[in-house]
Structure 1
Amino acid sequence: MSEQTTTAPVVRHVDARHRYEILVDGDRAGLTAYRDRDDRRVFFHTEIDDAHAGRGLAAVLVQQALDDVRASGLRIVPVCPYVAKFLTQHQEFADITDPVTPEVLTWLDARLGR
């Protein structure tokens, strides 16, 4: 029998670590990472731990992260493939989404030390 979650997942913004985390029963189950550039939040990586895969947690995490971006008055740049795919299915964020450009990718690589 598979283990069932007893409480709803919780998403928290961990500003000091430049990410949003999703917690399941108090344990971190995944994250979406970003860096801020002016008024744009550049999302570059999303992951869900294997133990929590297949439960739709990435969608919950990204939805709440993007809701927070909107509430903060920022814009979205979806470098992360998962965030980019999510945005194609959720047009309600189209008005605050900017394209990924070579300049943004160069900036992000420098910022991340790649």
Structure 2
Amino acid sequence: MDVEIGHTSSVIYARLKGGEEKAFLRYHVENGSMILLETYTPPAFRGQGVAKRLVEYALELAKQKGLSIVPICSYAIYFFLKNKEYRSLLHPDYRSLSDEEWKKLMDEALSREKSKSS
């Protein structure tokens, strides 16, 4: 899928389907860290790697700016659970978490996100 990705000071976005729809990753920069807050992909585009590309873009942006990553949203946590090779880019508090600790973070994020949407 051909996706145009860009960013502002608080959102990384992907223009989808000729620019008619957008996927996004909201983030915040604080104390030398890029905090990944929320990832959204329109339902018709889920499962096609769009969210993964948004997180990978965030990682590149963070590297360029000398920032570490703090994953808060469930997708960002899932990304680091599945892609251990990127964990060196995480904030030191997250680098050495076990898979079980990552799964607990994932459950907490999903619970938090579900309660927000209710």
With normalisation by structure 2, the TM-score equals 0.69
Q: What residue identity is the alignment partner of 1:19?
A: V
Q: Report Cα offsets for 1:23-54 as digits up to 9, x if no partner.
A: 12223421011111110011111010123223
Query: Partner residue of 1:78?
Result: 71
Counting matched residue pairs gives 92
Unpaired runs of 5+ residues, structure 1, are: 101-114
Query: Structure 2: how far apart are the matches of 1:27 and 1:73?
Result: 33
CA offsets 1:52-94 (integer angstroms, 9 cap, x no match): 2232211111111212111211010001111011012222321
Distance 1:34 1:63 in 2: 13
Partner of 1:21: 13
Further displaced range: 53-62 or 76-85:
53-62
Q: What RMSD, in angstroms, separates the aligned Cα atoms of the two structures?
A: 1.7
Distance 1:66 1:21 in 2: 14
The residue that corresponds to 1:65 in the other structure is 58
Query: Which residue is equivalent to 1:91?
Result: 84
Q: Higher helix fraction: Structure 1 or Structure 2?
A: 2
What TM-score results when the alignment is normalised by the length of structure 1?
Answer: 0.71
